[in-house]
Structure 1
């Protein structure tokens, strides 16, 4: 069963005639309308006996379908019909080959990957918090490592909002109060050369990635750090405005993040790379 968002990515799926091409391969298709509940449609498809779930849409739609795939032990197919297709890139799907990605249903290679979770909600890419714009472009990020952190955040950040007074503690016990940017991701973004900015080496490393950029203060460069963890707790005095896989949401503190290793079965066309650009560059 393939769920298609016809408006995603400026109508990529419609221009490619994806629905007709999928049906020609024996794939059942549901095209989402403006008032459709994707959660309900997916559950209905599963109860009707769907043996695989795919989605052509943005990363937020992917997370909804992936949640159902995990719950029912079904394989999941990602078709790159969104605007930026960050998840498809890191999964190793060729973002230029939307129609070819359909081969995952009929001639695909299957493997298992991790997902992240915050307060019970699944995410495939990341959860971003804080005020991003000024911070990630600040001229004081001159140090190569800090500049790489800032470039990565700028490449993958979600919608911004007024920052709450966040606090996160790293694995050394060091607190980071009121950071300018806090990014928690499903596996760590590549931060060492060689890399492709805004990509992860792997989606099966079994760790959350955490990136913190402090508020710039004084003449020296602001602090920034990245680390990995099995779980992370972020506290705040008020509801937290966040971007989850690119969609704006408000979360109630404390925010409890965890990694769920190897829970999602994914299928990828045998003709596609099957590894992220940074993964291909890693020895």
Structure 2
């Protein structure tokens, strides 16, 4: 059912259009006919920056540096032209008015704060057990003195700082056998997913401590990512929420499983040591439509072929836009999010920045199993292997791969005092915005 508009929304919509019209009036009214030329020059410069940026990512050698030169040159050229016409201040005012109109438009279309996942108050755990990775997140465990603070609250803590590979699953299962009634993790999303699977298996609550680098799961749970020690308050004053758990085969994930371009980058041994350099080195091959693997994704009656990258998420991300790809408002809808795309040209790179209906990116919701397969000439069906990044951890799995979701299988214990989940802004729908402005 469509939500009725309020008077403030209607006036914000009118304000948005007024700001945009004012931007054009300022530009043309101040500069006269040349204002239109300057507007066109600005648009051409923006396109040149986009094309140069794509070349920088998709080419090697001289092609890469030519793309960088084009992008920088376009910015410099636009600035020089505006300065030559003594129109730099006019340009700044015009951009400010356009930005003001955009802000007003988003405010006019803002939804009411969505109802969050239901929580229940539960008594504190008696024998909490927490694993902590001192290396995760640049050393947040040590920086925030998490081990001592957790032990002061009655938790048993195991540090993952021994030599060589540490079998986290074995450590956690041993704690369960010894009577642990809560399992906590201060580390990355990959370790949290592993422990989450054990929690779901034994119907134990999971305590998420935001001590990783990006803490996507903590963000979607409304936790404080700046101070992970605040998460420990859940040991004494907490509540529980039930969320879904994603599965790739039998392996759990709390955020997503990525196939294709990003997954192949994560597979590189150099990725952990120098992420940016590795991405720049591998992107040309991954963006080349004549190289690399092409993927197929099937869910229900829908099949997508010839995809360069596929992201399967535990519940859908945002509104399908690139800027919202790290955020979920709820994780208890019992569905998988599917984002599949290909970028073989600068034009398709531009489409990636627009809305999900464009052909570059397809955004779906899978209410059943999702199957990802690979198509490589010369390989026998079912014998190929697919690189996959599962919550940032690199794996190679045999094709085809089946992803599924276990609805509300995971209990998560949260501190009652927490920042909360940021509300995702709606994309600007100009038809709806115009209807609001007209009072419809």
TM-score (norm 2): 0.54
Give the secondary structure class of the aligned counterpart of 2:241: strand
Q: Which structure has greater strand proportion?
A: 1
The one-character-per-residue Cα deviations of 1:162-220 (angstroms, maximum 9, x if unpaired) are 753321135453x3223121000000000268x85520121111110000112436967
* Residue number in structure 1 paired with 2:333: 205
SS of 2:328's equivalent in the other structure is coil
In the aligned structure 2, how far is the partner of 1:166 from the partner of 1:46? Answer: 40
- Show structure 2 runs of 5+ residues with no match: 1-128, 264-278, 287-291, 352-358, 376-383, 427-440
> Structure 2 matches for 1:80-159, cutoff 5 A?
80-132=210-262
Alignment partners' CA distance in 2, 1:212 and 1:76: 31
Assess if the C-alpha contact under 8 Å between 1:211 and 1:224 holds in 2: yes
Q: Which residue of 2 aligns with 1:223?
A: 360
1:78 aligns with 208
The whole-number CA distance in structure 1 between the counterparts of 2:345 and 2:324 is: 29
**CA displacement, residues 90-128 of structure 1 (integer Å, 9 cap, x when unaligned):** 111111121111011221110100011011110000011
Structure 1, unmatched stretches of 5+, are: 134-156
* Larger of the two Rg values belongs to structure: 2
Which stretch shows the higher mean deviation, 252-261 or 26-35? 26-35
What SS does structure 1 have at the residue aligned with 2:234?
Answer: helix
Choose which of 153, 168, 183 in structure 2 pairs with 1:25: 153
Cα distance between partner residues in 1 of 2:142 and 2:308: 39
Pairing 1:39–2:169 present: yes
Residue of structure 1 equivalent to 2:179: 49
Contact 2:299 2:371 (C-alpha < 8 Å) held by counterparts: no
Query: C-alpha displacement at 1:132, in angstroms?
Result: 4.5
Counterpart pick for 1:247 among 393, 403, 422 = 393
Shift >4 Å, 4+ stretches:
159-163, 217-222
Structure 1 residues 57 and 97, CA, compared in 2 at 3 Å: closer, same or farther? same
